[in-house]
Structure 1
């Protein structure tokens, strides 16, 4: 996106990102003073250059409840903290966002909870984020709102500032109309999203689901990707478009780390620590019920039971980063996964080898790339996932091009990485056969598949994603509607 530097007040900005969290983490230096460090995520990597070139600001929560801090600068980004109380975190974030919307949008793998007080707080907090963005937006500024926690913000911005160019990106799946229809306040959510000029989704199927919901539940006219939005009096107000813009990764950073002698040495060390098995299988996930971790572990255990794999020949490393540990369904999942791991290891471990190395930790990206390099096979068995960037990071890390990706067809990455071994993770027998096929795949075939997938990842990185979205946001919606 190319813009001319503005000449307006230094307290207003031409490009604004609105997200649940700020793109920085707080730490304490050697003298005990608090400092801020840029977060390593791909979203920050993609948007920081746009912000630096276009007089940008980022609106979000700084991560600590019951604390108000003033706006501040970090590098070339202006950061505007939005305060959240303990009750806000409990009801807006843990409640409506992650116990109502998250399970509903992930095909009701776990039953959503519906509480009117959660909705009231979600609305209140969304208004707070919208107000913060409105106050600092320059005339005709571009505002890009991120993800399911802030679905009401686009319409709130449009009411307050109709001059703005408003984008929204949904990082998680969007459910079919039959599932979305269960949501109380469904009309308000759809109206909130339709405040955006452009709504981005990970997959075309997600965009199609949204358009069907708009047509069925709101009665708006839909032509191709364009929604003709009307007010309560039946008068047209604007055109909102829904498009697929699949997110990607900071590909070059992963490649550079994979070439690092320090990371390469760590990869060799990890393999020795595992007892130098013939095949290392890897799972990397947040400990979330959408990721299919239990299905993966069960399949691996059955392969050991049946003698199709053996300890020493194969080892499964499962990284399960802690996630939402105060939510009951996540506590139950942890108990289930750790129970499965304990049983399988108890039955199959030897004195020199472990069947499953289970790691309930978060790791820096350098350690993750080393693990990717060790893994002969990676298992991405999500039951439902917006994208799954682990699959793309693994492909980027395979400089030798011989790793094998086993990938759920229910992850957004399956649309781009068609040369993975695609599986239905609900079918344990199918998953078991895919694991054996991956372990036994000839090197020539593995190389061919990985070369094709790496070519895609190299050409479609996270910077390309942001540029493509912002370019589409500036298009005239009255042209080429179909």
Structure 2
């Protein structure tokens, strides 16, 4: 194969590059490592191999040549403003995201969005096809790029292709609503290994394949007659975090001192509850705030004794559903604070911003309980970050049953966030939990998180890809 771009034996394809283009202190353009779970999960993998990363730079109409940053070769894909509106904000985040999250918000189906999704997926596939070496490996990530595996296989049948789905995959009754349901399944089946966060997600996918495409499904494998014939493996590979930065930061005296400052700045309440989320309707922020407000109204907790800190980092601010969500949450916070604040204590400290990792670890150490109340979540890495940071074996994790993390972190206080009374009781259980029980639960949580870190996740997935390659 000939190409003007040097080829790599290992290529990652994701919607975004692992860096953001930002202005430097002197006005020059610099690249900064992106926040978010995907980059945190994959950066250690990329540092250990001779690879390249295909993705969008995050700004429309930005035509960039390949470049290297932090030792990773980056291959930018250009998206126009129309691509961003229709492929990203439209089909990815206003069609697929709500549909795959159990229709918490109504998905929108527009043919021009689908056309843009096909067009942009093809662009990513073509970029990767020219970048991967003969017989190399390509790892495609997430719901924005579900058509890429088949498009890439059509162009490069010599490569081994993996796909990992970071969000839930819906039950067939919901998935069947998608007008382009068969095309998406065929796109995913271009991969040799299709990975999911939970075993149930893999089952939902295999059910859709069997019912929609009438293919032969046995256990976790699908016999695919086209692009082969071949066998595709579809199973769960629960993602995790790079635990080392969290354990190291939690041990630093300055971070521990910052945690003490946070407590003092909040009026030194007896208990601090913490929520850390993207501002997204799937995260259950409204349910959490409602439950907390009712506990205050009922006198089961007082504003002097218990404070809720809610970090809600900005997300998809041009999508109408997110604009409405922010307004609803901020109105609810204002009402609760208006009813219960004193001159010295605030019921809810609401922070619509992101924070660097050092500050987040300080918040984790300051928090007596972490509230992860997502209505639906592929995994939720914040729950694992909290456990990794709590080397003091203290703190309580209140965790939604509807997160992928709930399959692994069984020693958390598990809750159905739709059940407001049950959520209130879970919060009270966390507030009142004796130190000995906290320690017993947290030791088990940390053992699970530290043993099953991001390196174990990537090794497991890449080993499955290698098994496919060896079986050819």
Q: TM-score range by the shorter chain?
A: over 0.9
Mark the CA change 1:308 to 1:177 in structure 2 (over 3 Å): closer, same or farther.
same
User: Which residue of 146, 149, 152 maps to 1:154?
Assistant: 149
User: Which residue of 59, 63, 66 maps to 2:58?
Assistant: 63
User: Which residue of 168, 192, 196 maps to 2:191?
Assistant: 196
Q: Distance in 2 between matches of 1:44 and 1:287?
A: 19
Q: Distance in 1 between matches of 2:336 and 2:40?
A: 40
Mark the CA change 1:10 to 1:125 in structure 2 (over 3 Å): closer, same or farther.
closer
Instruction: Determine helix, strand or coil for the equivalent of 1:445.
Output: helix
Instruction: Determine helix, strand or coil for the equivalent of 1:312.
Output: coil
State whether structure 2 residue 388 is matched by structure 1 residue 388. no
The alpha carbon displacement at 1:55 in A equals: 2.2
Match of 2:402 in 1: 410
Task: Spell out, residue by residue over 1:25-53, the C-alpha distance to the aligned partner (whole angstroms, 9 max, x if none).
Answer: 22333443222233355544544454444
Q: Distance in 2 between matches of 1:53 and 1:408?
A: 34
Match of 1:217 in 2: 212
Q: Distance in 1 between matches of 2:141 and 2:400?
A: 25
State whether structure 2 residue 412 is matched by structure 1 residue 420. yes
**Is this contact kept in 2: 1:226–1:477, CA < 8 A?**
no
State whether structure 2 residue 172 is matched by structure 1 residue 177. yes
Q: Distance in 1 between matches of 2:28 and 2:432?
A: 54
User: Which residue of 441, 446, 451 maps to 1:449?
Assistant: 441
State whether structure 2 residue 272 is matched by structure 1 residue 272. no
**Is this contact kept in 1: 2:37–2:381, CA < 8 A?**
no
State whether structure 2 residue 224 is matched by structure 1 residue 229. yes
User: Which residue of 280, 284, 293 maps to 1:288?
Assistant: 280
Matched residue count: 469
Match of 1:91 in 2: 86
Runs of 5+ consecutive residues of structure 2 not aligned to the other structure: none
Q: Distance in 2 between matches of 1:310 and 1:45?
A: 37
The alpha carbon displacement at 1:238 in A equals: 1.1
User: Which residue of 451, 461, 464 maps to 1:472?
Assistant: 464
The alpha carbon displacement at 1:477 in A equals: 8.1
State whether structure 2 residue 113 is matched by structure 1 residue 121. no
User: Which residue of 437, 447, 468 maps to 2:429?
Assistant: 437
Mark the CA change 1:136 to 1:416 in structure 2 (over 3 Å): closer, same or farther.
same
Q: Distance in 1 between matches of 2:325 and 2:45?
A: 39
State whether structure 2 residue 98 is matched by structure 1 residue 103. yes
Q: Distance in 1 between matches of 2:101 and 2:78?
A: 28
Mark the CA change 1:45 to 1:436 in structure 2 (over 3 Å): closer, same or farther.
closer
Match of 1:364 in 2: 356
User: Which residue of 163, 168, 188 maps to 2:163?
Assistant: 168
User: Which residue of 54, 74, 77 maps to 1:79?
Assistant: 74
Q: Distance in 2 between matches of 1:51 and 1:209?
A: 30
Mark the CA change 1:286 to 1:261 in structure 2 (over 3 Å): closer, same or farther.
same
The alpha carbon displacement at 1:391 in A equals: 0.5
The structure 1 segments of at least 4 consecutive aligned residues displaced by more than 4 Å after TM superposition are: none
Task: Spell out, residue by residue over 1:366-401, the C-alpha distance to the aligned partner (whole angstroms, 9 max, x if none).
Answer: 111111111001110000000011100011111111
Instruction: Determine helix, strand or coil for the equivalent of 1:474.
Output: helix
**Is this contact kept in 2: 1:154–1:193, CA < 8 A?**
yes
The alpha carbon displacement at 1:73 in A equals: 1.1
The alpha carbon displacement at 1:335 in A equals: 1.2
**Is this contact kept in 1: 2:192–2:468, CA < 8 A?**
no
Match of 1:238 in 2: 230
The alpha carbon displacement at 1:136 in A equals: 1.2
Q: Distance in 2 between matches of 1:470 and 1:444?
A: 40
**Is this contact kept in 2: 1:228–1:236, CA < 8 A?**
no
The alpha carbon displacement at 1:10 in A equals: 7.2
Instruction: Determine helix, strand or coil for the equivalent of 2:167.
Output: coil
The alpha carbon displacement at 1:350 in A equals: 1.1
User: Which residue of 238, 244, 254 maps to 1:252?
Assistant: 244
Instruction: Determine helix, strand or coil for the equivalent of 1:117.
Output: helix
Q: Distance in 1 between matches of 2:68 and 2:331?
A: 46
**Is this contact kept in 2: 1:50–1:56, CA < 8 A?**
no
Match of 1:14 in 2: 9
Q: Distance in 2 between matches of 1:268 and 1:159?
A: 57
RMSD over aligned CA atoms reads 1.6
Q: Distance in 1 between matches of 2:407 and 2:31?
A: 37
**Is this contact kept in 2: 1:239–1:477, CA < 8 A?**
no
Task: Spell out, residue by residue over 1:197-239, the C-alpha distance to the aligned partner (whole angstroms, 9 max, x if none).
Answer: 00010000000000000000110000110000123xxx96211
Task: Spell out, residue by residue over 1:147-201, the C-alpha distance to the aligned partner (whole angstroms, 9 max, x if none).
Answer: 0000000000111111100000000000000000000110000000000000010
Instruction: Determine helix, strand or coil for the equivalent of 1:36.
Output: strand
Match of 2:323 in 1: 331
